Structure 1
Amino acid sequence: MEPAKKLQVFIKSPDLGIPTRALAVDPGLTFRRLKLSVLSRAARLHETLALESFYFSSGGKALLDSSTVSGSGILPLSTLTLRLRISGGGGDGGATGAESRDCYLNMYAVKKPDKVDPNETRLTKWTTCALSFEPLAPPCVVDRLGNVFNKERLVEALLGKKLPKEFSHIRGLKDMIPVHLSEIPGSEKSGTRFQCPITGQEFNGKYGFIVLRGCGHVLSSKALKEVKSSACLVCHREFSDSDKMVLNGTAEEVKALRERMEEERGKLRERKEKKEKKLDTRLSGTKHLADEKGRLPVHGKQEGTVKKFKAVDIAPAHATKEVYASIFTSSRKSDFKETYSCRSLPLGRN
């Protein structure tokens, strides 16, 4: 079955300070899931605001959370605005207790049971692109901190220099590791599309997953733990412990990955500097001239000797050496003056 075509829309939220940006969404996506994707990036709001405190509107009309994008009649290139619900107020023009933003946020701080469902947040993190919030669709890549992206969206942001500050560690294609995600057959309509090819565990955040940087295959931590092998369980390519990288890891795991990334970059930078320094030394050394004893200075040291060229040393067999040498230079000194036309006939003899 051919997957549904993505719908291009614009999303903004003046209340959250989110500028207008383009987004390709699945027509079957509910506004609740779309809202969760947008709010999951603003982690600071999770502790103070409830998911139900926001709603989408289009053309001044409120959109139900349970409705789908296609079911609401949203046209391509429409603008969806994420609004903050305003409650209370006596209608008499008096105070509402929300004259400032801080007061307004404190009003919702007491709504502990209505916070964003952590299960939905986890599922969104593992099933959507970390940059565009679109459902993961091959080709996919991961960065050196274990975030998963749709490659096309990441490359577009990198070329357009529109990467958010949190992804500033991605500097080029070398920081993208292509990955192979094993798709679950018939999973187009379910929330999870990928699984471990060995254990069958779903790629939904309930289980740990690891990518092998050498081959790019994504396996569950359980598979690598139960099957002791130094080769990939899919392609049988050899790997070391340094090739294993945790996906969507905890804060401690991300910190360890960041330290390893900085260490690898430091070693690469050191090798590059040594190579450039060696090249500069070769090009900017003293002039290679032999001294009186025929020694050649190399990088400030006398190494080896330079033998002067003599034509007689390469004279053909049965050839008179003096005659052969006269081809290249005058081999016999004479007091006679020579003309430009004939060096062998002195003045007075022609």
Structure 2
Amino acid sequence: MNSTTNTLQIFIQAPDLQTPIQTLTLTLNSTIHSLKQSILSKLTQTPKPQINCYLTHNGRVLSDSAAVKLAGIQNLATVTLNFRLSGGGGDGGATGAESRDCYLNMYADKKPDKVDPNEQRLSKWLNCALSNEPLKRPIVVDSLGNVFNKQALVEALLGKKVPKAFGYIKGLKDMVPVELDPIPGSDSDVKFQCPVTGLEFNGKYKFYALKGCGHVLSAKALKEIKSSTCHVCRKEFMEDDKIVINGSEDEVVKLRERMESEKLQLRERKVKKVKNVESGVGDEVVKVSRTKRAGDLKGTKVSGKIETKGVDGSKANGKEVKRFKAGDMAPPNANKEVYASIFTSSRKSEFKETYSCRSLPLGRN
């Protein structure tokens, strides 16, 4: 910059015109508008009258009314000449072919509001999976890690209004009561946290529910403090006792396989128990119906052997079969025969019993 003449020299570029960079000398007192006119005059190949253009410096648009000395243009700076697009068709405006109904129909159907993923995530963790109401005690989870208000789920079961998606829930045995630790100073029915790490129960972190005690702990707590006991109540638990809450698709598939496996094992145990009772395996007392006479024998095949069951002290598979006698259970200082008569009418009497009482035979009054 020349301090005596108060002038500066700048570089001019016009990318839209594909012209080489040129230089221009101007005074600090001139305006951006006069600078723009000087640039248009210097670029002789550009039509001069009424050209819609503007100047930029360092990516900033320069106002036509501003002075050069206030626009932040330094000596040997570069100023860019840009051109605005003109309308009049072909630029996305109206062509005259559209009708008024076209614009009315455009706004006739209301577009669905976009769902905020954060709100959707919070709703899944802070609301009941069945009623969509805020979680409030008592709270339960199912075998797949869904969280429910117990009252809403029980009412749906009683009214037979459980959705098909939760059809595997048949009763209280399919629910695991859980204890969610509330955040101090907040609404205890809405915000919860991990009692060990303090991580908020909001879907950003993975949480597990323990079947045995029902405490809900973050995955971080179970990972950093490795133990086979609950960090809150010190109750023992195994890996299969952990239920991941609102898990991913792969985690839900694993939980579903575990649930089906447990149901199958439970059915097998029930069938095995019934068979054991019917066959009298071990030291179990053989149950014989009252209609069978004493001394009746029945052959039952157990594990490829014939087992003989009796009711009068006979042997079954070489073991004594014990028969229940009411007299053996008589209290101290009581007559066994009198005590046994309370439970059986096998003792013969010369009198006939009435329909109402055994102690008032006919013919005594």
With structure 1 as the length reference, what TM-score do the two structures score? Answer: 0.51
Deviations 1:196-243 (A, max 9, x none): 011100000000000111000000000000001111111111111111
> Is residue 271 of structure 1 aligned with residue 278 of structure 2?
no
Do the aligned partners of 1:142 and 1:179 also contact (CA within 8 Å) in 2?
Answer: yes
Match of 1:160 in 2: 159
Match of 2:247 in 1: 249
Deviations 1:263-290 (A, max 9, x none): 0010001111112223334557997738
> Is residue 118 of structure 1 aligned with residue 124 of structure 2?
no
Match of 1:19 in 2: none
Cα separation, 2, equivalents of 1:305 and 1:180:
51
Do the aligned partners of 1:192 and 1:204 also contact (CA within 8 Å) in 2?
Answer: no
Give the paired residue count. 202
Cα separation, 2, equivalents of 1:290 and 1:196:
65
With structure 2 as the length reference, what TM-score do the two structures score? Answer: 0.49
Letter aligned with residue 204 of structure 1 = N
Query: Structure 2: any 5+ residue segments left out of the alignment?
Result: 1-98, 280-285, 298-306, 322-365
Cα separation, 1, equivalents of 2:256 and 2:228:
24
> How do 1:331-342 and structure 2 match up within 5 A?
none
> How do 1:219-234 and structure 2 match up within 5 A?
219-234=217-232
Match of 1:188 in 2: 187
Deviations 1:43-92 (A, max 9, x none): xxxxxxxxxxxxxxxxxxxxxxxxxxxxxxxxxxxxxxxxxxxxxxx896
Deviations 1:8-41 (A, max 9, x none): xxxxxxxxxxxxxxxxxxxxxxxxxxxxxxxxxx
Do the aligned partners of 1:144 and 1:258 also contact (CA within 8 Å) in 2?
Answer: yes
Cα separation, 2, equivalents of 1:230 and 1:167:
31
The root-mean-square deviation of aligned C-alpha atoms, in Å, is 3.6
> Is residue 134 of structure 1 aligned with residue 145 of structure 2?
no
Match of 2:216 in 1: 218
Cα separation, 2, equivalents of 1:274 and 1:305:
23
Q: Which runs of 4+ in 1 moved over 6 A?
A: 90-95, 284-288
CA 283–195 in structure 1, closer or farther in 2 if over 3 Å, else same: same
Cα separation, 1, equivalents of 2:132 and 2:211:
24
Cα separation, 1, equivalents of 2:320 and 2:202:
71
Letter aligned with residue 142 of structure 2 = D
Of structures 1 and 2, the one scoring higher in RCO (CA 8 A, sep 6+) is 1
Cα separation, 1, equivalents of 2:320 and 2:213:
52
Cα separation, 2, equivalents of 1:235 and 1:302:
49
- Identity, in percent, stands at 56
Letter aligned with residue 231 of structure 1 = T
CA 302–290 in structure 1, closer or farther in 2 if over 3 Å, else same: farther
> Is residue 297 of structure 1 aligned with residue 326 of structure 2?
no
Q: Which of these two proteins has the greater Rg computed from alpha carbons? A: 2
| 1:132 match: secondary structure | coil
Cα separation, 2, equivalents of 1:305 and 1:250:
57
